[in-house]
Amino acid sequence: MTEKLVIRGVELWKSWLDEAAQARLLAALRPVLQAAPAFSPETPWGRRMSVRMTSAGRYGWYSDRRGYRYVTRHPSGNPWPPIPAEALSIWKSVTGLAREPDCCLINWYGEGARMGMHQDRDEADFSWPVLSVSLGDDALFRVGSVTRGGRTESVWLKSGDVAVIGGAARLVYHGIDRIRFGSSRLLPEGGRINLTLRVVE
Ligand code: SIN
Ligand code: MN
C-alpha cells in the first residue's frame, strides 16, 4: 500500500511500486543501459560527478565544461533509446498527464556516490512536474527551498518510492547526501538507480 508524504512541497508516494513492479522496471532498463552506457558527466567546473548517468527519450541530460543542457544524442553519437513503457506508465498513473515526458534521466549511484543540492531548471516550461522513481539502495534525499540555503528537510527514499517535484515546489533545491550501499537486494551488484522523467520542450 502506498502512503503519501509531503516534504517541503515535494509529494512522496512511498512504496508506489511493489517488488514485482520494481523488478519489471529494472529489467526494462537493462537494454537501455546496454544501448546507452552510463557515464560520469563533467561539471561546468571541471569535476567528474560521482553519479553515473544516461538517458532515454528524445532528449538526454548532459553536462560538460560548456554547462548543463539537454542533447539529442548519447556521447557515442547514437540517439538515446526510447523511454520504456514501464516508466511511461508510472508517469501517467502518478501525474495523470496525457503529455508524455521527453526525457528519462537514469542516475546510477554506486558506493559513495552523492548529488549536491541543485534545482532542475534546464527545462523550458516549469509548469510540468518532474517525476522521480527510486530503485535499489536507500538514499537520503534533502529538500530545501526555491532559493539556495536556508532550512532543509531530509527523508530516506526507498526502492519503489516515487516523488513528484512540481507545482510551487517545482524549483526547490534538492540533492542526495548519501546512499546506504547494500541496503537493498534489487540490484544484484548493489547501488541505486533513480529515474527522473521530465518534459523538456
Ligand atoms: C536528481 O535530482 O536528478 C536525482 C535525485 C535522486 O537521485 O533521487
Ligand atoms: Mn534534480
Q: Which residues line ligand 1 (CB under 6 A)?
A: 107, 115, 132, 139, 141, 157, 174, 176, 194, 196
Candidate of 174, 184, 197 to mutate for ligand 1, largest count of ligand atoms within 8 Å of Cβ: 174
Q: Under DSSP, is residue 86 helix (H, G, I), strand (E, B) or coil? A: helix
What pLDDT shows up at residue 118?
Answer: 97
Give the tens place of pLDDT for each residue, 71-99. 999 999 999 999 999 999 999 999 999 99
Smallest-distance ligand from the CA of 104: 1
From atom 6 of ligand 1, which residue's Cα is the shortest distance away? 194
- Cα 71 to Cα 43: distance, rounded to the nearest angstrom: 15
Q: Which residue in 186, 179, 188 sits closest to 110, CA to CA? A: 179
What pLDDT shows up at residue 113?
Answer: 98
Residue-level length of the chain: 201
Question: Once rounded to an integer, what is the mean pLDDT over residues 54-82?
Answer: 98
Candidate of 62, 109, 115, 198 to mutate for ligand 1, largest count of ligand atoms within 8 Å of Cβ: 115
Give the tens place of pLDDT for each residue, 107-137. 999 999 999 999 999 999 999 999 999 999 9
End-to-end Cα, the chain, rounded Å: 34
From atom 3 of ligand 1, which residue's Cα is the shortest distance away? 196
CATH for 3-198, options being 2.60.120.590, 3.10.105.10, 3.40.50.80, 3.40.309.10: 2.60.120.590
> Which ligand 1 atom is nearest residue 118's CA?
2
- In 144-199 the beta strands, taken as DSSP E runs, fall at 153-157, 162-165, 174-179, 192-198
Q: Under DSSP, is residue 20 helix (H, G, I), strand (E, B) or coil? A: helix
CA distances from 7 to 15, 89, 126, 129, 176 (A): 16, 24, 19, 15, 14
Q: pLDDT tier at 1 (50, 70, 90 boundaries)?
A: confident
Q: What sign results for the dihedral spanned by CA atoms 116, 40, 139, 24?
A: positive
- Cα 121 to Cα 127: distance, rounded to the nearest angstrom: 11
Question: Once rounded to an integer, what is the mean pLDDT over residues 136-157?
Answer: 97
- In the chain the beta strands, taken as DSSP E runs, fall at 3-7, 10-14, 52-57, 60-64, 67-71, 103-109, 115-118, 130-136, 139-143, 153-157, 162-165, 174-179, 192-198
Query: Above pLDDT 70, what percent of the chain?
Result: 100
Residue ranges of domains in the chain:
3-198
Candidate of 68, 176, 184 to mutate for ligand 1, largest count of ligand atoms within 8 Å of Cβ: 176
What pLDDT shows up at residue 92?
Answer: 98
Query: Above pLDDT 90, what percent of the chain?
Result: 99
